[in-house]
Chain A
Amino acid sequence: MGKVIVVTSGKGGVGKTTSTANLGTALALLGKSVVLVDADVGLRNLDIVMGLESRVVYTSMDVIEKQCELNKALVRDRRVDGLMLLAASQKNNKDDMQPEQMKAICDKLRTTYDFTLVDSPAGIERGFRNASAGADEAIVVTTPDVSAIRDADRIIGLLQNVEIEPINLVINRFSPQLVGNGSMMDQADVLDILNIDLIGVVPEDSAVITSTNRGIPLVYEDGSPGAQAYMRIARRLTGQRIPIPDLEQKGLFSNILNWFTKKR
C-alpha cells in the first residue's frame, strides 16, 4: 500500500506546484512509483510545470464522469520510470467535484503507486477539501513571510481536525542573505510559530524559474541549491534519515557578535 500526500499551503504562489513537480520527479528518480494529481480544477498548472501539457488527453473529471478509466487518464512521463500525471479539468470548477470522488481516486491510486502527491489549490474552501479528502499525510509549503505563515497555521489546524498525520513543513524561497541581515525569519522562528515537523528548506533559486520555463523539473539537473534541497526532501519522504543543513549565511560581523553574545 502506498501513501497519499496532499501538498497544500493556504496562501497561493508559495510553491505548492513547484514542490509537487520536483518531489514527485525526485521520488521517481529514487526508484519509487509515483502519481501526481492536479487538484486545482479550473486553474490547472501541474501539467505545464511538468512539461506534459501537450500529452494530456483526459482529466480527473473524465474519470469521475465515467468517460474514461483511471488508468487511461494517467499521462506517463517518459523521462523517468514510474512517474504519472493525472491532470485537472480546465473547463470545470471546484464545485463540480465532490470530496468523496477525489477520495475514491486516491484510494485506487494508493493500491498501485508508492506515492500519490496531490497538488492542492490555494484557499481553505472546497478546492482544499477536495485535495485533502483522500490524503493520509500532508506537506504544508510556506514562505518565510507573515501572510504565508499565518495561512499555513490555519491550514495546519484544518488538517489536524481531520486527523491527517504526519503534517510536514517545507519552507520555500528561503534567502540566506536576507536571514543573515535580519530581514527574513529563520527556520527556528518559523518552527517556533507553526510547531510542526520540518522536512526541508528550499532556497530562493532562479533555476526554479528557468526550469519552469522549459517544463523540465529542477531535480533532473542536480546541482542547483533548489534541486539538492528537493532531492533531500524526497529521500526523507522515503524514510531515509538525513540531516537538514543550516542554510543560514552570516556575515563576519554578525558571526563575531554571535560569538560574544552566545549563551554561556
Chain B
Amino acid sequence: MNLSIKQLFGRKPKSSNIAKQRLKLVITQDRVDVDDRFMTRLHHELAEVLAKYFEFSANSVKMNLKQEGNSYILVADFPYTKFHDMSMRR
C-alpha cells in the first residue's frame, strides 16, 4: 500500500491520477505498435546475443507485447534447435 496523507484525506482517488496512469500504459503500447523499427531493432539485437548460445532459424522467432493488469510483458519466442556448449569451445 502506498497511501499518502493527501489520499487519506481526499474524498476519492483523483480522476486526474487515474487518467495519467491509464495514458501512460496505453501510450507505451501505442509507441511499440506504431514503431515497427523499434521492434525490428530489438529483435535483431536480442537474436545477436542469443546466437552466441543457441542455434535457431530467424523466421521462427516471434515477439510481441502483451498487457497484464497494470503492466506490459514482452514475450519473445526463440525456438532453438541446438545449444552451443560454451565450455567445449575453450
Q: Which residues of A contact B (CB under 8 A)?
A: 145-146, 149-150, 153-154, 157, 179, 182-186, 189, 192-193, 257-258, 260-261
Taking a contact as CB atoms under 8 Å apart, the answer to whether A185 and B6 are in contact is no
B34 proximity list for chain A (CB < 8 A): 154, 157
Size range of the chain B interface in the assembly: 20 to 34
Say yes or no: is B90 at the interface (Cβ < 8 Å to chain A): no
21 contacts between A and B (CB under 8 A): A146-B19, A146-B23, A149-B23, A149-B27, A150-B26, A150-B27, A150-B30, A153-B27, A154-B30, A179-B16, A182-B15, A182-B16, A185-B16, A186-B16, A189-B20, A193-B20, A193-B23, A257-B6, A258-B6, A260-B5, A261-B4
Shortest CB–CB separation between residue A257 and chain B, in angstroms? Answer: 5
A150 proximity list for chain B (CB < 8 A): 23, 26-27, 30
Interface centre among B15, B19, B22 (most CB of A within 10 A): B19
For A158, the closest partner residue in chain B by CB is B34
- In the bound assembly, the distance between CA atoms of A189 and B22 in angstroms comes to 12
Shortest CB–CB separation between residue A57 and chain B, in angstroms? Answer: 41
Instruction: Report the number of A-B residue pairs with Cβ-Cβ less than 8 Å.
Output: 48
A257 proximity list for chain B (CB < 8 A): 5-6, 9
A154 proximity list for chain B (CB < 8 A): 30, 34
Taking a contact as CB atoms under 8 Å apart, the answer to whether A261 and B14 are in contact is no
- In the bound assembly, the distance between CA atoms of A88 and B4 in angstroms comes to 53
Shortest CB–CB separation between residue A51 and chain B, in angstroms? Answer: 36
Taking a contact as CB atoms under 8 Å apart, the answer to whether B30 and A193 are in contact is no
List 8 other contacts, CB 8 Å, given A157-B35, A182-B10.
Answer: A149-B27, A153-B27, A154-B34, A182-B14, A193-B23, A257-B5, A260-B5, A261-B4
Say yes or no: is B24 at the interface (Cβ < 8 Å to chain A): yes
- B1-45 residues with Cβ-Cβ distance < 8 A to A are 4-6, 9-10, 14-17, 19-20, 22-24, 26-27, 30-31, 34-35
Taking a contact as CB atoms under 8 Å apart, the answer to whether B30 and A189 are in contact is no
Looking at chain A's contact residues, the main secondary structure is helix
- In the bound assembly, the distance between CA atoms of A257 and B20 in angstroms comes to 21
For A160, the closest partner residue in chain B by CB is B35
A185 proximity list for chain B (CB < 8 A): 16, 19-20
Taking a contact as CB atoms under 8 Å apart, the answer to whether A193 and B27 are in contact is yes
- B33-64 residues with Cβ-Cβ distance < 8 A to A are 34-35
- In the bound assembly, the distance between CA atoms of A146 and B30 in angstroms comes to 13
Shortest CB–CB separation between residue B61 and chain A, in angstroms? Answer: 25
A153 proximity list for chain B (CB < 8 A): 27, 30-31
For A260, the closest partner residue in chain B by CB is B5
- In the bound assembly, the distance between CA atoms of A149 and B15 in angstroms comes to 15
For A145, the closest partner residue in chain B by CB is B19
Shortest CB–CB separation between residue B39 and chain A, in angstroms? Answer: 14
B6 proximity list for chain A (CB < 8 A): 257-258, 261
- In the bound assembly, the distance between CA atoms of A150 and B22 in angstroms comes to 10
B17 proximity list for chain A (CB < 8 A): 182
- In the bound assembly, the distance between CA atoms of A102 and B27 in angstroms comes to 31
- In the bound assembly, the distance between CA atoms of A45 and B86 in angstroms comes to 68
Taking a contact as CB atoms under 8 Å apart, the answer to whether B16 and A261 are in contact is no
A189 proximity list for chain B (CB < 8 A): 16, 19-20
